Chains A and B, each alone.
Chain A
């Protein structure tokens, strides 16, 4: 084990993790990168639509970074923190330029400029894209730069290694991790002066989601059990358009609508005509009717609920949970731009979406909540980066660049970047803001990590990891070895895959598009039952080599813990905000709930403790989130909902 000081560990090799590696290595600090998969296969590859940033064209049409921030805040229903969102929106154009320099094949205009597309939550074209596989292209660019540092010996990769637990010293500072090689099953302690969790979302808690099979939230759940709090775990994004499948729900990108795709159902229930035989006037383009301004590009939570309700009212295609997403009318050139996603639809359903409207339904897609993180707001008094000739920003306009607090959890030295934190997206994430927040975290806050690692060991910052006694690491290593030995030796009756299936079905039914107290209380009972059954596992592989069975069983325990926190926060938030819609509390209640649900793991009870933490609004005052919904329809909708509920 290399024992230089300082060292940084990054857990997760998606966009956030790789951007962090590049930035931290550039700052001169060696990085050990841990990932359950070769980093080039991380879930970021699945992102399709694009990445948002203010640009020269939009700017001349009246758009600005400020407005990008404002859209992100209202999109998130003001549950996001304003200074980090300000910084992200203002940093975004630099990220696009950097990715461009790294060689990302962004689509081009005839003049050779970067092309732009329209995306949800905005009336301006501010989304940059590379075909319909933007996440893949961005991830590869950062993977290539990381490989460059790897070739120089500044980044050390541990691929097929699973993060098991953060190591903390006696003062509770994070000083390394315990990890396990998923092939040889070798378990080891690794020292570091700062650890970055960039471990992504937790879709697997819902069984089927649009996420990759590695996105089980276990890494974040382990940090939570080790003392790092969660923020807003109840905020889960359900993407409006996915292709339901046996093993997972595959994403159908928002870019299909951004490029002109239209969502509709037949006006007549159970209309069994071929969709192309249904004349225009007999189609209900319900999003366009209700939201004349944004149309099909309302934020995702709104589109999701509208699709969900239209199906509940019996208007789903064939009476089932599906609506049409129609791109058949688009010109060939536009269809070509969408080729990557259209191919996916064709491959997995056998239908050609260029000829026949796609059948889609919402699916769990993104984890807005996550590990609770802090930040140092920008302060002109301490700003050393703005040139003397330039005006300084106002207080709270952004974050203090390089401050070690930025995106650190409540555990000193333990950071959370990208989807695994909770800072940027509030109660709903806008399309094409995920790639941005992940890369932003790595590039902007990477320096904060490097600075923390440099400082550790000086004065009040504790002992450098390289000098800590081996006994500290051995203690945590033994904890994990014992945990694994216990699972491997289980001779009970409960199959982990069956428990997981039941967990997914229950969470999907109780805590997705529409939440309601009675149903969630039922789910609370079910989770208690599953936790009980989990203590009686049946392990069919008891070997000590590439044992996926025990790895999965171990992660299942962590998923159950995360699901508990998610459900309890959903119960406690008695209001509707963004993606969190309570049919029993349909209004946003700012007085009581314009707060972060901060969830701490109670080690004694093994259950979550929730406190409410106020969210300052130093830049933008709260306002209603309507997206120009027509009032008439609003009243009709309310009546319909009441009728449906009764």
Chain B
């Protein structure tokens, strides 16, 4: 974290804070000097080093989650002026120009329990990966030759899904995914497809589809298509949901006949 040197021109940042999950939320406002190519992380770093509100109150530094600052780790997702996104790739001057306001509002994601301030607990997303068995069931790490061949087209499709960084934007934007229901949402469904498409990954296709056919599965999708609009990696999430939907239909028919 770098504490910037003070400079002249400033803008305001309003931050929704919460001391712990059980505590009430409250807003605080900070004044931050304008710097070129300044992203939200630099803004938060400045506030951490200068934790004084516009009303002159010395407060505890704001807590947030971050990692790579290059939009590949997924850590720093938050709600910026009402829109969910990674805060590292959000440039303050562009954001101010976009909204036409003199301030930026930062809030934690609303679909996950708040740990503190802007830092939320997204464990549910990782648990869902366990649920849909998001892995290739290899025999072990011994040298058993190369993996299955695939065409460049197959690789391209899988690569798109492989870039999911578990950031949670799709779930924040989804009207069906709520804090207390069981819907797994676009992220886990797309990952199920990713592994169903792999030659060895397919071995668990049936188990994945069983998991997605019940409550909390694909049928809970309301088709609002919000997920694909907010995905920072432009993963074709609605296409994935549709494809898994078709796989489920085939799976159900197969189950029906094999049960006879």
Cβ-based interface call for A247 (8 A): yes
Q: Which residues of A contact B72 (CB under 8 A)?
A: 45-46, 133, 136
Q: Which residues of A contact B151 (CB under 8 A)?
A: 108, 110, 112
Residue of A nearest to B138 (CB): A101
Q: Which residues of B contact A141 (CB under 8 A)?
A: 136
Cβ-based interface call for A187 (8 A): no
Cβ-based interface call for A226 (8 A): no
Cβ-based interface call for B119 (8 A): yes
A101 touches B200 (CB 8 A): yes
Residue of B nearest to A444 (CB): B141
For window 113-161 of B, CB contacts with A under 8 Å fall at 115-116, 119, 121-123, 126, 129-130, 133-138, 140-141, 143-147, 149-152, 154-155, 158-159
Q: Tell me, rounded to whole Å, the shortest Cβ–Cβ distance linking A137 to chain B.
A: 6
Given contacts A107-B155, A147-B134, A208-B2, contact A246 B42 (CB under 8 A): yes
Cβ-based interface call for B166 (8 A): yes
Q: Tell me, rounded to whole Å, the shortest Cβ–Cβ distance linking A520 to chain B.
A: 22
B141 touches A45 (CB 8 A): no
Among A37, A109, A144, A250, the most chain B Cβ lie within 10 Å of the Cβ of: A144
A41 touches B2 (CB 8 A): no
B147 touches A136 (CB 8 A): no
Cβ-based interface call for B4 (8 A): yes
B134 touches A144 (CB 8 A): yes
Cβ-based interface call for A248 (8 A): yes
Cβ-based interface call for A586 (8 A): no
Given contacts A112-B149, A247-B42, contact A40 B126 (CB under 8 A): yes
Cβ-based interface call for B225 (8 A): no
Cβ-based interface call for B3 (8 A): yes
Q: Which residues of A contact B146 (CB under 8 A)?
A: 96-97, 100-101, 114
Q: Which residues of A contact B16 (CB under 8 A)?
A: none
Q: Tell me, rounded to whole Å, the shortest Cβ–Cβ distance linking B38 to chain A.
A: 5
Q: Which residues of B contact A344 (CB under 8 A)?
A: 70-71
Complex CA–CA separation, A43 to B138 (angstroms): 25
Q: Which residues of A contact B3 (CB under 8 A)?
A: 495, 497-498, 500-501
Cβ-based interface call for B95 (8 A): no
Provide the main secondary structure of the chain B interface: loop
Given contacts A105-B159, A443-B141, A543-B60, contact A212 B73 (CB under 8 A): yes
* A323-331, A387-395, A545-553 - interface stretch: A545-553
For window 489-522 of A, CB contacts with B under 8 Å fall at 495, 497-498, 500-501, 504
Residue of A nearest to B149 (CB): A112
* B61-69, B99-107, B171-179, B235-243 - interface stretch: B61-69
Complex CA–CA separation, A133 to B70 (angstroms): 11
Complex CA–CA separation, A147 to B137 (angstroms): 11
Cβ-based interface call for A589 (8 A): no
Q: Which single member of B63, B130, B155 contacts A546 (CB below 8 Å)? A: B63
Cβ-based interface call for A103 (8 A): yes
0/1 per residue, A527-566, Cβ < 8 Å to B?
A: 0000000000000110101101100100000000000000
Q: Which residues of B contact A478 (CB under 8 A)?
A: none
Q: Which residues of A contact B119 (CB under 8 A)?
A: 546
Cβ-based interface call for B247 (8 A): no
0/1 per residue, B58-96, Cβ < 8 Å to A?
A: 111101001111111111000000000000110100100
Q: Which residues of B contact A147 (CB under 8 A)?
A: 126, 129-130, 134-135
Cβ-based interface call for A228 (8 A): no
Cβ-based interface call for B53 (8 A): no
Q: Which residues of B contact A247 (CB under 8 A)?
A: 2, 39, 41-42, 45, 69, 88
Residue of B nearest to A110 (CB): B152
Q: Tell me, rounded to whole Å, the shortest Cβ–Cβ distance linking A410 to chain B.
A: 28
Q: Tell me, rounded to whole Å, the shortest Cβ–Cβ distance linking B159 to chain A.
A: 4
Q: Which residues of A contact B155 (CB under 8 A)?
A: 105-108
Q: Tell me, rounded to whole Å, the shortest Cβ–Cβ distance linking B165 to chain A.
A: 7
A145 touches B1 (CB 8 A): no
Q: Which residues of A contact B163 (CB under 8 A)?
A: 131, 133, 136, 340
Complex CA–CA separation, A97 to B201 (angstroms): 16
Q: Which single member of B145, B166, B195 contacts A97 (CB below 8 Å)? A: B145
Cβ-based interface call for A315 (8 A): no
Cβ-based interface call for B51 (8 A): yes
Cβ-based interface call for A22 (8 A): yes
Cβ-based interface call for A207 (8 A): yes
Q: Tell me, rounded to whole Å, the shortest Cβ–Cβ distance linking A332 to chain B.
A: 14
Cβ-based interface call for A213 (8 A): yes
A213 touches B136 (CB 8 A): no
Q: Which single member of B48, B115, B143 contacts A94 (CB below 8 Å)? A: B143
Cβ-based interface call for B14 (8 A): no
Given contacts A102-B138, A102-B147, A540-B61, contact A212 B69 (CB under 8 A): yes
Cβ-based interface call for B198 (8 A): yes
A212 touches B67 (CB 8 A): yes
Cβ-based interface call for A615 (8 A): no
Q: Tell me, rounded to whole Å, the shortest Cβ–Cβ distance linking B154 to chain A.
A: 8
Cβ-based interface call for B10 (8 A): no
0/1 per residue, A232-275, Cβ < 8 Å to B?
A: 00000000000001111011000000000000000000000000
Among B115, B135, B138, B150, the most chain A Cβ lie within 10 Å of the Cβ of: B135
Q: Which residues of A contact B136 (CB under 8 A)?
A: 101-103, 141, 144
Q: Tell me, rounded to whole Å, the shortest Cβ–Cβ distance linking B124 to chain A.
A: 12
A348 touches B116 (CB 8 A): no
Q: Which residues of B contact A102 (CB under 8 A)?
A: 136, 138, 147
Q: Which residues of B contact A38 (CB under 8 A)?
A: 122-123, 126, 166
Given contacts A150-B130, A545-B116, contact A213 B150 (CB under 8 A): no
Given contacts A145-B138, A500-B2, contact A46 B70 (CB under 8 A): yes
Q: Which residues of A contact B162 (CB under 8 A)?
A: 104-105, 130, 136-137, 140
Q: Which single member of A23, A41, A212 contacts B141 (CB below 8 Å)? A: A23
Q: Tell me, rounded to whole Å, the shortest Cβ–Cβ distance linking A212 to chain B.
A: 5
Residue of A nearest to B201 (CB): A103
Cβ-based interface call for A349 (8 A): yes
0/1 per residue, B197-218, Cβ < 8 Å to A?
A: 0101100000000000000000
0/1 per residue, A189-227, Cβ < 8 Å to B?
A: 000000000000000000110001110000000000000
0/1 per residue, A337-378, Cβ < 8 Å to B?
A: 000100010011110000000000000000000000000000
Q: Which residues of A contact B68 (CB under 8 A)?
A: 41, 43, 45-46, 212
A103 touches B126 (CB 8 A): no
B165 touches A548 (CB 8 A): no
Residue of B nearest to A541 (CB): B60
Q: Tell me, rounded to whole Å, the shortest Cβ–Cβ distance linking A253 to chain B.
A: 11
Q: Tell me, rounded to whole Å, the shortest Cβ–Cβ distance linking A530 to chain B.
A: 14
A45 touches B165 (CB 8 A): yes
Complex CA–CA separation, A541 to B63 (angstroms): 10
B141 touches A246 (CB 8 A): no
Given contacts A136-B165, A540-B58, contact A497 B130 (CB under 8 A): no
Cβ-based interface call for B111 (8 A): no
Q: Tell me, rounded to whole Å, the shortest Cβ–Cβ distance linking A363 to chain B.
A: 12
Q: Which single member of B59, B67, B143, B150 contacts A43 (CB below 8 Å)? A: B67
A–B pairs, 15, beta carbons within 8 Å: A45-B165, A101-B145, A103-B195, A111-B149, A136-B163, A140-B162, A144-B129, A145-B138, A148-B135, A212-B69, A497-B49, A498-B49, A546-B63, A546-B119, A548-B61
Given A344-B70, A540-B61: 14 more A-B contacts, CB < 8 Å: A101-B145, A102-B136, A102-B147, A105-B162, A110-B152, A112-B149, A147-B135, A246-B37, A247-B88, A248-B69, A340-B163, A348-B37, A500-B2, A546-B116
A-B interface, 7 closest residue pairs, ranked by CB to CB distance from nearest: A100-B147, A112-B149, A144-B135, A497-B49, A497-B3, A546-B116, A103-B136
Q: Chain A residues in contact with chain B, CB under 8 A?
A: 22-23, 26, 37-38, 40-43, 45-46, 94, 96-98, 100-114, 130-131, 133, 136-137, 140-141, 144-145, 147-148, 150-151, 183, 207-208, 212-214, 245-248, 250-251, 340, 344, 347-350, 443, 495, 497-498, 500-501, 504, 540-541, 543, 545-546, 548-549, 552
